[in-house]
Amino acid sequence: MNYIDDYPTCEDTYVTLRIYTGEMAPEFVTRMLGVKPSDTLTKGQIAKGRKKPAILNGWFLSSQGEVDSLDSRRHIDWLLQNFEGKDELLRKVAAESQESYVSVFWSSKSGHGGPRLSQNQMAGLLRLGLDIDHDIYI
pLDDT of 111 higher than 90:
no
Strand partners, 58: 20, 41
pLDDT at site 26? 96
Cβ contacts of 62 within 8 Å, gap of 6 or more? 14, 15, 16, 17, 38, 39
- Kindly provide the residue ranges of all beta strands, DSSP E only, lying in the chain, ordered along the sequence: 10-22, 39-41, 57-62, 99-108, 131-137
Spatial separation of the C-alpha atoms in residues 132 and 134, rounded to whole Å: 7
Tell me the three state secondary structure of residue 37.
coil
Nearest one of 19, 44, 16 to 31, comparing CA atoms: 19
When pLDDT is cut at 50, 70 and 90, the band that residue 120 belongs to is very high
Percent of the chain with pLDDT over 90: 92
pLDDT band at 103 (very low <50, low <70, confident <90, very high): very high
- Determine the pLDDT at residue 91: 95
Q: Where are the domains of the chain?
A: 10-137
pLDDT in tens, 44-95: 999 888 899 999 999 999 999 999 999 999 999 999 999 999 999 999 999 9
pTM for the whole structure: 0.94
**pLDDT of res. 62:** 98
Q: What's 89-124 look like in SS3?
A: HHHHHHHHCCEEEEEEEEEECCCCCCCCCCHHHHHH
pLDDT, averaged across the chain: 95
Per residue in 35-53, pLDDT (tens digit) is 999 999 999 999 888 899 9
